[in-house]
Amino acid sequence: MKHLGKQSKQPTSPNIKILDKVKNNNVGSSYVIRLTQPEFTCLCPITGQPDFAHIVIDYIPNKWIVESKSLKLFFNSYRDSKSFHENTTMEIVESINKLLNPVWIRIGGYWYPRGGIPIDIFWQNKIPPKKAWVPDQEVTPYRGRG
């Protein structure tokens, strides 16, 4: 473990090496883990203005699960990173997918509007196993004026 139980310096740029994994003691159970980051932020690569998102990742672990402190540091490492919504969302899920090689994984990147248009990005690696209960993401981060 690089971070758990240790003083960790905030990474300045995203890198899969930030992430740690721990052994899954329930291999074969087809249970779903949900990772949620409701205050994700990065920078627009054109304007340098902050972009905000609600990120939801669901996965069925295989041999490994992601260690949560390292995940928090990984998410926070994007704060000064310049990237389009689509690239950022896919980079996050590809990093976790590569680290864990889960049975199944999906991401919902719910980006708050800039210029009046919210951009939401969704991806999953395959259809989840039939015996797995996968809840809806049901995220509505932008409510507008009401």
Angle (nearest 5°) at CA 17 between 24 and 99: 35
What does each C-alpha distance from 91 to 96, 116, 136 come to in angstroms?
9, 25, 22
Annotated catalytic residue, options 44, 80, 120, 136: 44
51 in catalytic set: yes
Annotated catalytic residue, options 20, 51, 58, 136: 51
As annotated, the active-site residues are 44, 51
